[in-house]
Each structure stands twice: as C-alpha cells, then as structure tokens.
Chain A
C-alpha cells in the first residue's frame, strides 16, 4: 500500500486513527482522573471524526448519524456524567500514578504489534487500506483492557471499558463502513445504561468499602469477614 495513492480523506483517516491510538496511550498513562476524562472525550471526538470522514467519502448517510451520535454520547454526555460523578465523589484531585509507567507503555506497544500480527492474515482486496486501521482499533481495544487490568481505581477502569468500546466502534466503522443503524443505536443505549449503572455502583462501592480502589474489594469475600 502506498500513501500516495490514497485520497486526502483517506490519508486524514489514517492520521486520525493514529491519533486515536495515541490518545489510548495517554489515557493509559494519565494519573489524574479529570485529565483522563478529558482525554477520553478527545478520543470520542476523534472517533466520531473518523466516522464522519468514512461517511463523507462513501456517501453513507446513516454514518453521519452515527458520527453525530458518537460525538454526542462519547465526547459530550459520558465525559460530562463522569466529570460530575468524580466531583460528587470528591475525586477531582485524585492522582493515581502508575507504578511502572515505562513497563506499561512497553506492554502496550507489544499489544500494538500483537494486534497487527493478528490482523495481518486478513487479505481482502477491498480491505487493504482499512485493514491497518482495523489493527489500530484492535490495539485500542486491547489497551483499554490492559488499562482495566492495571488501574485500581474504579472510575479509571470505566474509562478503560469505554475506550475499549471506542476501539470496537472504530473497527466496525473502518472495516465494514459501520454497523446497521439499529445495532448502533442499541450499543449506544447499552453504553449509556452501563454508564448510569456504573454511577450507581460507585456510590454503593464507596459506601461499603469507603474507597473506590477495587483492590480493596478483596475484603468483601467471606474469608475476609471471618478474620
């Protein structure tokens, strides 16, 4: 594949996909919760931009709708909800630096290469340009999961989960020109409900263990009660 042979919009799409990947890294490393939420919002903006570009280049009307939906949901609504949540939980000054940032970044880079390796065998003619973006999206998903593994803070874990969803969405958009509208609406609704449920859970967790550090949930086992 040669970049020279791609149209400007496609080039732009590649650039945006790369930036999405970068935001994933930043999200992974970000110590401050509020800043991480902002990064997540930017990631949403980028994903919706990619969607809009795919829509514009393919002339797919329903993708414009999903772009708008993504923007409204992932760039505005969810970040706003998280922001409010964090403020109400008084976590807006909370810092949680990674213990070994360099190691984490290396693991994430390995995940990027791994996902590229996974995607390589897909050799479909019409995919030759988007395939690489699928690799990036897969990497975003995996890094999101890595974030959930590494972070001990529940809100950060939710961010990881949401960015996984971003990656999936990006893959769907770039590989097949988006899912049917019904499915997308359903997913969007799911994410929203999940967000609300998370919010409720946060307060519950906090009431029962007085912290949002998920490692503390170990105490909830029966054995811990016995002690």
Chain B
C-alpha cells in the first residue's frame, strides 16, 4: 500500500501551516498514517522469510516494525500539532460501503500512544527475539502476527465507519490471540489464550450491537451519520451500556478482567508490552470515540457507572497485583488498576459534562488522556524489564529473584524509573495524571446534586488508596527483584542484556521523565483533542507559561513541575557533592543486622512475606488458602494460594451454565451427515422466512 492510494482531503486549522506545508505530501498526516500501516504490513510480510533465515527477524522485520511505529508517531504528532482533520475513502470494502478513514486529533493522540510504544518495542525486540532463534518456535508466526497486530490497532484508530472498525478490531484480537498462544506447548497457555479469544469475541459482539443501535438511528454505518443521529435517552443508554461492556471487557475492567492476567503474561514479553501498553489503550480509544464523540451527549448516570466501575477496578487491580509473585502476572493486574484510573477520569468527565461544568469535565478528560499515554509508557517499560529478566535469568517468579540491580544496572535503573512512574511519584509522569484527576475530583463542590458531591470525593479517596497501594506494590517488586541478594542460581548468574533491549527501555524511561517534568508542554499539545471532541479546550491549564500547570485557575491549584524537578535534582546533587566527593569514601563491611550472623539469601523478606500485612487487612477480597503442613520428612511447608474471588462468584457459574448448554447441543451431533444437512436446511428455511 503506497501513498498514491490515498486520496486525501486535508485541511489545516492554522493558515500559515497550510500555506507552508500543504503543497508537500509528506506533511500530510494521512500519508504518514498510511506509511505506518504499510510498514506494519510489510514487516508482517517480511517475516515469512524468517522460516528460512531466522536472523531476518531481528535484523529486518523488527527494525521495519520500529519504523512503522515511528511513522505512526509522526502522523499522530502532526495531527495534534496542526489540529487537522484528514479524511479519505479507500477503494476497499463493500461496493456500497467503502472503507473510510479519518485522522483527527483523538485518533492522532492514540496514534502517538501506539507509535511510541511500538517504536520502543521495535528497538527492544531484536535483542529479545534472539532467544527464540535457536528454539523450535515458529518465527514467521511471531513476526507476522506482530505486524498484523500493529496494523489492526492502527486501523481501529483510523476507521471512520463501523465496518472497517470491526474488521480492524477483529484483526487486532485474532492476531494477538496467536501471539498469546505462541508458547503453545504448555496447556495453561492454550487455556489462557482460549479464554482471551472468548472474552474478545463477547466484547466484539457487544461493540457490534452498540454500533447497530447507533447505525439504526443514523441510517448509515459511517461515523458521521452516527454523530448526527438523535438518540432517545433509553437508546443512547443502551448503546452506552453495550459499548461500555464491550470496550470495558477488552480494556480489562473489573469484573470482566479475568482474561487479562491470564493472557498478557504468557505472550512473549515484547508482545505483553504491546498488549498491556497499547491494545488496552485501543479499547479506551473505542470507548472515548463511541461515548464522547459518536453518542456525544452525557448523562450523569453514565458518569456514576463509569466512576464506580473504574474505582473498583483500580482498587481490586492493585490489591490483586500485590498478591502476585509472578512478575508478568503482577504487571498485568496492575494494568487493570491503571485502566481503572483512566476510567475514573472518564467517569468524572462524564459527570461534570452532564452537569454542564465544561471546564472541569475537560480537566478530567485530559487527565484520563494523560494517564492513557503514561500507562502506555511505563507499562511498556516494565514489561520490557520483566522480559529482560526473563531473557537473562529465565525467571519470572519474584520469590526467586534478588540483587538484579548490581547484575544488570541499566535495566535496573530503567525499571526503577518505571516503578517510580507507576507509583505516581513526582517528578515522573504517573504523578501528573493522578494530580490532574485529583484536581478534577476536588471541584466536586460545583456539582448541583448533593449525592454526587459526596460520591466524587469518595472516588478520590479510592484513588488515593490505590496510589498508596501501588507504591507498596512496586516497592515490593523492585525491592525483591532488584535489591537484596539473589534467591536462585540462574538469577545469580544473570548478566546485562543486549544493547537493543537497553535502548528500547531507555527511550520509554526518558519519556516517562519528560512527561513528568514538562507536563504543561504536553498538555498544550493534547489540548486539541478535547477541543475537537468536546468542543472546549483547557483555556487556563497552560496559560501561565510552560513552567506552571494550572488546570482550573492559578488560584485553585498550580504545579510547577519543572521547578520542582529542578529543585529536587539540585538538592540531591548538592548533598551528594557536599558529602560524597573527594576522599570521603565509605568502607565496605558485613551487614550489621543487629549483630546476628551475616544474613543469607534465605533470611530475606520474600514478595509473599512483604505483602502479608496487606493480605491480612484486605483478606476479605481474596480467596486465600493458606496452611502450614508438615511434610513426610518432618519439614514444614507453607502453602499459600490466592485466587480472585470473582472467579468463583462470576465465572464458574457462567462456565458451568455454558457447559450444561453445550452438553445439550452435543445431542445434535449424531455423526450422521444427513442429519446435519437437515439442520442446515431447517436453518436456511427459517432465515428465508424471517427475511421474507
């Protein structure tokens, strides 16, 4: 697919820009978007050759993939900077329903999210996939489906009609299914992948129905028609509920999150980074597109629902994450938490917009957007770190790690930045979005209804609790994995990872810091999204210059992120310079440990021990099976199994019901071909009867 295929009609909001740039094609946002899709497809195509030459995967396929990410990033940035809306019709699709694409600010923002993580993954992957070259893993499948996965995600964001949207959505779901099942020799992985496929399809069905509701009012499957449709409250709510369920399932909101911690960890780590970092964001994109853009009206009831589900997801997500000792599983649960935080922001936005508080609604909306890109950055970074550990030590159990910072200082430093960011600590990016969300929640006094006024602060309390628990969770992760002493032999022998992996992590780590230190600049950049979607920008947020972030007004709240970061680093540097320079060496000695014998690795607190107080306090939420059992050789063994309570409450009954239904259906399966044909005939007759 080349640029000539796109008949782009582009218009720019700023006159000087259009005169300067519109003559050249390479400045067109759609050209870059097309290039991104084309490169992604190309990387999928090229990976077919890896069957003969495995080396191609890291030397050609993954660099092309990185280029695709870069192109997507450029397209997104251009769309954000120019504020342009570019549309085009593709000569594909059905005769009466041509595929339409549209790259506006919202799509541009998500192009940035997809592009930046894909770019980093493309840099990281060459080192990581090296480990697969000598195994018997099907490399063409790995590279091919990765390329298709990216293509699907980009097309979902580009789509301007429900048809292309659904096709791209399924492409995304299916290709990621094959990536999840990549290590298919283990039964657990196959089960996880199947669960994932099942949930993805239930979600897809709900989304399809939501589009159906809107299309029946708009008269067309194009998004423009849906935007113009006038829905009654009941039908709009139906569309909202369907969309929320569909996209929420894909995003991993509680209680439909169960597939996520199963599926994300079993994929190869760079794929996990893509899935957790980007694919969940595509679901967030879908939700924003449908609810904020296409339905375009807001009701406080929706806001309350989204806020409640978001809060529950955030809290339960982080609590479950705290209980995990498999690093990648932990990170997957933490994605549930962060998606919850994003939806808290979106719920607040709905609430305030429905109450006519446009500015505050926009603040909440921007907070959600900011957390979206933040989560993409640090979750991508953390999954890459987990992948690096897996790569060098072949270990994903926290309780067997330890002391990795001294063995892999680069990965350790980047991982620390990721941990600081995800724990919402200044001066990193996670803090900015959390701060922004708090600022929106604190304007609850502007709401008319007293009940809403009291609900919003409670959501803020949940957010605060979530933040504190996330900090506990990542102190635990970092302290157990990277500090202390190694708890197993492979980890003791771990070493630095290839350069490409370090570069991939470094890019994201740097961005985490940048988005934390210069929030005003970035929010200025993202401001065009609410301008286009909601019709209002943040007028005051950046009015005080790049040093100050003032969401509502300078009097209400301000955060001088660059100054705070500068002061922090300056004081640290000053202290270091005063006290550590020159001959003030410190002497190495044995650990003191209150004068007991030198500590061994077995005396350290494990991840399980670390979480014990929290496990005890929040025990109600888990299904905990804990016992100390004497073994036959007289030794004691501690058994601990923690499961999601929702499994028993929600999934198992459903699964049983499905099984029962399936057993009924089995009766149809007699093995006789003519019986099957009879059923086919009956179905055909039935369908024809309905059509007539």
Q: Which A residues have a C-beta under 8 Å from some C-beta of B?
A: 100, 102-103, 109, 113, 116-117, 120
Cβ A116 vs Cβ B620 within 8 A: no
**Docked complex Cα distance between A120 and B449 (Å):** 9
Q: When the two chains form the complex, which single residue of A100, A109, A116 contacts B450, counting CB atoms closer than 8 Å?
A: A116
Cβ A120 vs Cβ B620 within 8 A: no
| B455 on interface, CB distance cutoff 8 Å | yes
- In chain A, what residue has the closest Cβ to B619? A100
A116 to chain B: which residues have CB within 8 Å? 450-451, 454
Q: When the two chains form the complex, which single residue of A102, A103, A109, A117 contacts B451, counting CB atoms closer than 8 Å?
A: A117
A interface footprint on B288-324 (CB within 8 Å = 1, 0 otherwise): 0000000000000000000000000000000000000
- In chain B, what residue has the closest Cβ to A119? B450
Cβ B620 vs Cβ A117 within 8 A: no
- In chain B, what residue has the closest Cβ to A135? B450
**Docked complex Cα distance between A109 and B620 (Å):** 19
- In chain B, what residue has the closest Cβ to A112? B454
Question: Given A113-B454, A116-B451, A120-B449, 10 other A-B contacts at CB below 8 A?
Answer: A100-B620, A102-B617, A103-B620, A109-B458, A113-B451, A113-B455, A116-B450, A117-B451, A120-B450, A120-B451
**Docked complex Cα distance between A109 and B458 (Å):** 10
B620 to chain A: which residues have CB within 8 Å? 100, 103
A109 to chain B: which residues have CB within 8 Å? 458
CB distance from B466 to the nearest CB of A (A): 16
A102 to chain B: which residues have CB within 8 Å? 617
A-B contact count (CB 8 A): 15
CB distance from A156 to the nearest CB of B (A): 22
Name B449-483 residues within 8 Å CB distance of A: 449-451, 454-455, 458
A113 to chain B: which residues have CB within 8 Å? 451, 454-455
- In chain B, what residue has the closest Cβ to A117? B451
Cβ contacts A to B, 15 pairs, < 8 Å: A100-B620, A102-B617, A103-B620, A109-B458, A113-B451, A113-B454, A113-B455, A116-B450, A116-B451, A116-B454, A117-B450, A117-B451, A120-B449, A120-B450, A120-B451
**Docked complex Cα distance between A103 and B621 (Å):** 11
CB distance from B362 to the nearest CB of A (A): 27
**Docked complex Cα distance between A116 and B454 (Å):** 9
Considering residues B451, B455, B617, which has the most beta carbons from chain A within 10 angstroms of its beta carbon?
B451
A117 to chain B: which residues have CB within 8 Å? 450-451
A interface footprint on B441-452 (CB within 8 Å = 1, 0 otherwise): 000000001110
B449 to chain A: which residues have CB within 8 Å? 120
**Docked complex Cα distance between A169 and B280 (Å):** 54
**Docked complex Cα distance between A116 and B452 (Å):** 11
**Docked complex Cα distance between A100 and B618 (Å):** 10
**Docked complex Cα distance between A102 and B449 (Å):** 27
CB distance from A56 to the nearest CB of B (A): 29
**Docked complex Cα distance between A113 and B308 (Å):** 15
**Docked complex Cα distance between A66 and B146 (Å):** 78
A100 to chain B: which residues have CB within 8 Å? 620
Considering residues A100, A102, A113, A120, which has the most beta carbons from chain B within 10 angstroms of its beta carbon?
A113
A120 to chain B: which residues have CB within 8 Å? 449-451
- In chain B, what residue has the closest Cβ to A103? B620
**Docked complex Cα distance between A99 and B74 (Å):** 57
**Docked complex Cα distance between A116 and B458 (Å):** 15
B451 to chain A: which residues have CB within 8 Å? 113, 116-117, 120
A103 to chain B: which residues have CB within 8 Å? 620
B458 to chain A: which residues have CB within 8 Å? 109
CB distance from A107 to the nearest CB of B (A): 13
**Docked complex Cα distance between A109 and B450 (Å):** 15
- In chain A, what residue has the closest Cβ to B454? A113
Name B411-460 residues within 8 Å CB distance of A: 449-451, 454-455, 458
- In chain B, what residue has the closest Cβ to A113? B454
CB distance from A188 to the nearest CB of B (A): 33
**Docked complex Cα distance between A116 and B450 (Å):** 8
Name B614-640 residues within 8 Å CB distance of A: 617, 620
**Docked complex Cα distance between A169 and B608 (Å):** 52
B455 to chain A: which residues have CB within 8 Å? 113
CB distance from A101 to the nearest CB of B (A): 11
B617 to chain A: which residues have CB within 8 Å? 102
**Docked complex Cα distance between A113 and B617 (Å):** 25
Considering residues B449, B454, B455, B617, which has the most beta carbons from chain A within 10 angstroms of its beta carbon?
B454
B450 to chain A: which residues have CB within 8 Å? 116-117, 120
CB distance from B345 to the nearest CB of A (A): 22
- In chain A, what residue has the closest Cβ to B617? A102
**Docked complex Cα distance between A193 and B450 (Å):** 40
**Docked complex Cα distance between A120 and B453 (Å):** 12
A interface footprint on B581-620 (CB within 8 Å = 1, 0 otherwise): 0000000000000000000000000000000000001001
Name B132-168 residues within 8 Å CB distance of A: none
**Docked complex Cα distance between A188 and B451 (Å):** 34
